Structure 1
Amino acid sequence: MCLRPTCTRVPTSSSTTGSWLQVPRLALRHRLSALSGSVCRPAAWRRRPLAFLCYVLSISALRPLANRVALYRSIPTRLLSRAWGRLNGLELPTWLRKPVLSLYIWTFGVNMQEAAVEDLHHYRNLGEFFSRRLKPAVRPVCASSFLISPADGRILHFGRVKNSEVEQVKGVTYSLENFLGPQTRQNNGSCSSSFRDLLLTSPDSDLYHVVVYLAPGDYHCFHSPADWRVELRRHFPGSLMSVNPGVARWVKELFCLNERVALIGQWQHGFFSLTAVGATNVGSIRVYFDQELQTNAPRYRKGSFHDRNYSTVCDQVLKPAGEGDVLSVDRGGVALQKGEAVGEFNLGSTIVLLFEAPKDFSFDLTPGQRIRVGEGLGSL
């Protein structure tokens, strides 16, 4: 006897009939999907490239820090920076200047009321806008402090230099010798052979440092922080990784790896140096009194540096527009006055000051504070 399956009849309205017909279809669909999933169903990441990319990034985040740093350093930041420099030099049509620059101003919070020229149509390209000058009265120089901020920015770190190691951010250090390169100075009579002691000219002094980070929206020129004399310009070609504090926390000796220009000399208390550290999209570091300086060259030899000794030359060099005609350079070096414009970045980066001062010198700063050109850094 053949048994036939029975079913309960339901009302024959169109809506209920449709749902009754879908029941076996759904059951069959689940069975087929279970079978195909174990046999030939393509994985989700193969059908969705974006999902696959997110998966790869999430896996790479779990890898050791060294692998992530190596991956980041493999990015051609120098090539990207040169391309950005070319883009900055392209002249914008007059009708496009205000929309493009207004977007940048809005994104990075630029205060155009401080600019010497507020009309955005005046800036022919992005490069001219980045290197804009300020009104003379908006950055007064503190007369009571012998050491002032060289740039607008944020204080990343400051303090005494200990064991020839300097902090780029809290807990992450770099070698002072790798940062400044070999020195030919004579020891001050101390029996210590540390690089730090080699820089000091008096046993009654100590070595200090301060790091100022310039964000993209900051004023991009840097000024002389004191009355001093530049004896040597040392240019280190190198990488152009970001100097954002977030990156500086996991790339050890970032400041020693990046391209930088160190101005080294003397002030009233002994050794003094100002170093402009390059970064991504900041391949151009300009020093106004050094027309020979060329940064972000297509090729360079790792670990190399190029010196220009100002203590052995006697000539005249041009100053930036609006700062006078010439700057005298004698056999003692280039004399700079406190607050004087020294150079500029092409977007923003970092300034590192290393200087000798009496042991009773103290900083009037707090980590992370905002600071502007001309404001005092410390006192005796």
Structure 2
Amino acid sequence: MCQASLQRAPLNTRKWLHFPQLALRRRLGQLSCMSKPALKLRSWPLSFLYYFLPFGALKPLAKVGWRPTSRVALYKSIPTRLLSRAWGRLNQVELPMWLRKPVYSLYIWTFGVNMKEAAVEDLQHYRNLSEFFRRKLKPQARPVCNSHCVISPSDGKILHFGRVKNCEVEQVKGVTYSLETFLGPQTWTVISKGEDDSGSFQDLLVTKDGNQLFHCIIYLAPGDYHCFHSPTDWRVAHRRHFPGSLMSVNPGVARWIKELFCHNERVVLSGEWVHGFFSLTAVGATNVGSIRIYCDRDLRTNSPRYCKGSYNDFSYISSTNKEGVCMRKGEHLGEFNLGSTIVLVFEAPKDFTFNLKAGQKIRFGEALGTM
């Protein structure tokens, strides 16, 4: 009897130990029968805790069949557009005089803003955060380089640059995105390289024999000057607005999410310069739902509703304006609220070379490259 009891005891103990796992499996089976929206709602808090709780408190759940939502899917589920609109409303709130200096001083200290370059250094002059973000600079603070054909359109950090290869562009080293997905179909101009349009999307953009396609990506941090300017003398013929997500474009996130720039809201300005095709794309980000183009009063970004994958086209060329919008190098072009990213994609002769290093800081007016 004693031996039988001893033999049965481990079995009872083992059954008792397995009971929570069986209960969890039944519960997970119930979850799997739910609709996708309900399952996502139930799984999101658990996934959040799974990644952020210390010591792996929820790790045992994975052993009984539960799988956390991936970090990318979890991040994409955050309502960044709603948060950005709320942040935009907060930025418009006028601050009392006594509060302006402490608030702006904290921002200056956090992000390393150089107020000596600002056209107005007095912090009490800025009525709200939006005005402070969009502060103008003293004219002599950013001299425009006249000896090079392409200059930096903004302050920022160089994420990547070089030639476009196989219709793929690198957003950061090793992480690429499709050029055609980023710019959208080539419908804004008539193909001028002949009647054969069977080539790749990249070939369609190159209008002159012997030229190649180049790109450069500039990331604007929150402490940078938030206006952007014309990088060269060119003619803007077309604007394409992609409503989309407003995920962070911080280099760390850009390494994490493939085709991040293709998911985010962006405004593509395309046209021609002396060497052929030229485009500048302003990419939105979290808290940067507002992208403003000075010559385009009809542009509205970060609308409450949009259709995923859609885009809106607008031509600056009309029966009364055959040239479009002619921009001079260094001329004011637009502005962000907070920080974001500028992507240049342009056609140039093969001997064009960038005078840059990946990761370097650059300021508006400094040379990007030359021939």
Normalised-by-shorter TM-score class = 0.7 to 0.9
Aligned partner of 1:146 in structure 2 is 149
Looking at structure 1, the residues matched to 224 and 329 of structure 2 have their Cα atoms a distance apart, in angstroms, of 20
Q: Is 1:357 the counterpart of 2:360 in the alignment?
A: no
Tell me by how many angstroms 1:66 deviates.
8.1
What is the correspondence of 1:57-76 to structure 2 with a 5 Å cutoff? Answer: 59=59, 67-76=70-79
SS of the residue 2:240 aligns to? strand
Please list every run of 5 or more consecutive structure 2 residues that lacks an aligned counterpart in the other structure. 1-16, 18-48
Looking at structure 2, the residues matched to 265 and 51 of structure 1 have their Cα atoms a distance apart, in angstroms, of 45
Instruction: Name the TM-score, length of structure 1 as normaliser.
Output: 0.80
SS of the residue 2:109 aligns to? helix
SS of the residue 1:304 aligns to? coil
Q: Is 1:256 the counterpart of 2:256 in the alignment?
A: no
Aligned partner of 2:162 in structure 1 is 159
Tell me by how many angstroms 1:64 deviates.
9.5
SS of the residue 2:295 aligns to? coil
Specify the code of the residue in structure 2 equivalent to 1:350: T
SS of the residue 2:241 aligns to? strand
- What CA deviation, in whole Å up to 9, does each residue of 1:294-345 have, x standing for no partner? 000000000110111011264xxxxxxxxxxxxxxx2211000000010000
Which of 306, 319, 336 is the aligned partner of 2:312? 306
Is contact 1:154-1:212 (8 Å) kept? yes
Aligned partner of 1:219 in structure 2 is 225
Tell me by how many angstroms 1:54 deviates.
3.5
Is contact 2:191-2:197 (8 Å) kept? no
Aligned partner of 1:237 in structure 2 is 243
* Distance change in 2, residues 1:211/1:92 (3 Å): same
Specify the code of the residue in structure 1 equivalent to 2:349: P
Q: Is 1:127 the counterpart of 2:133 in the alignment?
A: no
What is the correspondence of 1:150-189 to structure 2 with a 5 Å cutoff? Answer: 150-184=153-187, 185-186=190-191, 188-189=193-194
Aligned partner of 1:339 in structure 2 is 330
Q: Is 1:247 the counterpart of 2:253 in the alignment?
A: yes
- What CA deviation, in whole Å up to 9, does each residue of 1:223-255 have, x standing for no partner? 000000100011000000000000000111000
Specify the code of the residue in structure 1 equivalent to 2:145: C
Which of 288, 293, 298 is the aligned partner of 1:292? 298
Tell me by how many angstroms 1:187 deviates.
5.7
Looking at structure 2, the residues matched to 59 and 150 of structure 1 have their Cα atoms a distance apart, in angstroms, of 47
Looking at structure 1, the residues matched to 197 and 248 of structure 2 have their Cα atoms a distance apart, in angstroms, of 39
Is contact 2:50-2:68 (8 Å) kept? no
* Distance change in 2, residues 1:143/1:306 (3 Å): same
SS of the residue 2:143 aligns to? coil
Specify the code of the residue in structure 2 equivalent to 1:193: G
SS of the residue 1:312 aligns to? coil
* Distance change in 2, residues 1:163/1:51 (3 Å): closer
Which of 348, 363, 371 is the aligned partner of 1:372? 363
Larger Rg: 1
SS of the residue 1:249 aligns to? helix
- What CA deviation, in whole Å up to 9, does each residue of 1:134-169 have, x standing for no partner? 000010000101100000000000000000000000
Is contact 1:363-1:378 (8 Å) kept? yes
SS of the residue 1:92 aligns to? coil
Looking at structure 1, the residues matched to 172 and 332 of structure 2 have their Cα atoms a distance apart, in angstroms, of 27
What is the correspondence of 1:276-287 to structure 2 with a 5 Å cutoff? Answer: 276-287=282-293
Looking at structure 2, the residues matched to 162 and 238 of structure 1 have their Cα atoms a distance apart, in angstroms, of 26
- What CA deviation, in whole Å up to 9, does each residue of 1:246-296 have, x standing for no partner? 000011100000000000000000000000000000000000010000000
Please list every run of 5 or more consecutive structure 1 residues that lacks an aligned counterpart in the other structure. 1-37, 39-48, 315-329
Q: Is 1:200 the counterpart of 2:206 in the alignment?
A: yes
Tell me by how many angstroms 1:53 deviates.
3.7
SS of the residue 1:377 aligns to? strand
Specify the code of the residue in structure 2 equivalent to 1:102: S
Specify the code of the residue in structure 1 equivalent to 2:364: V
Determine what percentage of the aligned residue pairs are the same residue. Answer: 69
* Distance change in 2, residues 1:298/1:52 (3 Å): closer
Aligned residue-pair number: 317
Instruction: Name the TM-score, length of structure 2 as normaliser.
Output: 0.82
Task: Name which of structure 1's ranges 211-220 and 186-195 shifts more when overlaid on structure 2.
Answer: 186-195
Which of 83, 87, 95 is the aligned partner of 1:84? 87
- What CA deviation, in whole Å up to 9, does each residue of 1:183-212 have, x standing for no partner? 134162477611000001112100000000
Is contact 1:238-1:259 (8 Å) kept? yes
Is contact 1:131-1:344 (8 Å) kept? yes
* Distance change in 2, residues 1:256/1:51 (3 Å): closer
Is contact 2:197-2:204 (8 Å) kept? no
Looking at structure 2, the residues matched to 157 and 129 of structure 1 have their Cα atoms a distance apart, in angstroms, of 29
SS of the residue 1:178 aligns to? helix
* Distance change in 2, residues 1:117/1:291 (3 Å): same
